[in-house]
Amino acid sequence: MQVKYIFKMENLMSGCIMCGNEDLERFPAEFVPFLQERMFQNKKVETFLCHCPTCGFYYSSVRPSDEEMSRLYNGYRGEAYQKQRQKFESNYTEAFNHALGFSEENEILRNSIMLGCVKKYISPSCIKTILDYGGDSGQYIPRIFKKAEKFVYDVSGVKTVRGVKSVSDERVLKNCSWDLIMCCHVLEHVSYPLDLIEKLKSLMHHGSFLYIELPYEDYMEDFIKQGLPVPIHEHINAFRKETLEQAFGSDEFFILENEYVSGFDTDGSACSKYLRCLVKKADPTEFPELEKMKSACKNLSDTAVLGYNVVDKITALRKRQTLKEKIFSVKKVKKHRVIEILGIKMKFNV
């Protein structure tokens, strides 16, 4: 078979795709043979592993296109998928494949990890609507939310479990008022995770919660230590607590919990630790400091860029930057306070 080498533009990207830091470490890496066949149709795609020392994020330099992603995920964990994968990974049997998505053990594990966090901060009776973004059939939405209307948004289009409705229309997704959004074991798969985080933020109203769960993977560190190329499987991203701290580093979102928890191996990726994070979009009155700045800026022509809409506006313009540190800096200089937004400095009397 003739092997075709593809060089992707993404290899030229310089900054961390989550926080924008340009001082990245790069290590030799390669896609596992299963992905090379299924996703890239046997074209040899060169990649390396990037590590951002600022936010701890690890990711493959190649970001698969929508077409490559749909080749991988269409019929995900279906019969053909399982057979194709077992060709390369002998332990990926039919029973193993089934257990990943549908076993009771997995459901119990996922529920216990999530509820161990959300029960501390959320009273189930206060949640009227839940969206499980990328939640397969909706089987992982905890049953304690008895009164809530439950929805799932999933590209695979699989049939939902009883009591869960499917939402596929983007307009419906945007127009619903979600009290709790779950996004579990999704962000490690996507090519543009920051875009997805921004989308999830845009679906939240003041007072809503976002629960994120991810595998904690550190196998790459062993390969790096031994000087071996790091194998890249379908988890093309590996998050750390710091990555999420940066991603929610605006005054509008509170991180209620962001921690590593232990679990047992369920998804075949040698992952026994998880990262879980609960974020709340708070009411503006919960941010007295920003309120003060807004009122101080009332009479200026730049007022339009201040306030809460500024977060979305600036994020859209400079996605890879850290809002607090690089765009929205506030310094006290003698008797003045200097606020810098998008390079515009404004001086206010204290």
Binding range to Zn ion, per CB under 5 A, among 11-19, 82-90, 247-255, 279-287: 11-19
Where does this chain touch Zn ion (CB under 5 A) — which range of 17-25, 108-116, 297-305, 337-345?
17-25
Angle between helices 104-121 and 94-102 in degrees, nearest 10? 20
Q: Which CB atom, from 180 or from 194, has the smaller least distance to Zn ion?
A: 194
Helical residues (DSSP H) of 54-165, grouped into ranges: 66-73, 79-88, 94-102, 104-121
Q: Contact between 19 and Zn ion (CB under 5 A)? A: yes
Q: Residues 311, 299: contact at Cβ < 8 Å?
A: no
Using the rule CB under 5 A, is 290 a contact of Zn ion? Answer: no
Q: E-strand spans in the chain?
A: 5-6, 25-31, 44-45, 47-51, 58-60, 129-133, 149-153, 164-166, 178-184, 204-216, 230-232, 237-238, 253-262, 273-281, 329-333, 336-341, 344-349
CA distances from 329 to 3, 138, 276, 290, 293 (A): 50, 41, 29, 12, 12
Of 35-54, binders to Zn ion (CB under 5 A) are 52, 54
Least distance between Zn ion and beta carbon 340 (Å):
21
Nearer to Zn ion, 31 or 239 (CB): 239
- Under the binding rule (CB under 5 A), the answer on residue 322 touching Zn ion is no
Smaller CB distance to Zn ion: residue 137 or 237? 237
Supply the minimum distance, in Å, between the C-beta of residue 23 and Zn ion.
Answer: 9
Which residue number, 14 or 112, has a Cβ lying nearer to Zn ion?
Answer: 14
Per CB under 5 A, does 55 bind Zn ion? yes
**Smallest distance from Zn ion to CB 47, Å:** 18
User: CB of 320 within 8 A of CB of 247?
Assistant: no
Please choose, out of 19-27, 74-82, 87-95, 218-226, the segment that lies near Zn ion by the rule CB under 5 A. Answer: 19-27
Give contact residues for Zn ion (rule: CB under 5 A): 16, 18-19, 21, 52, 54-55, 57
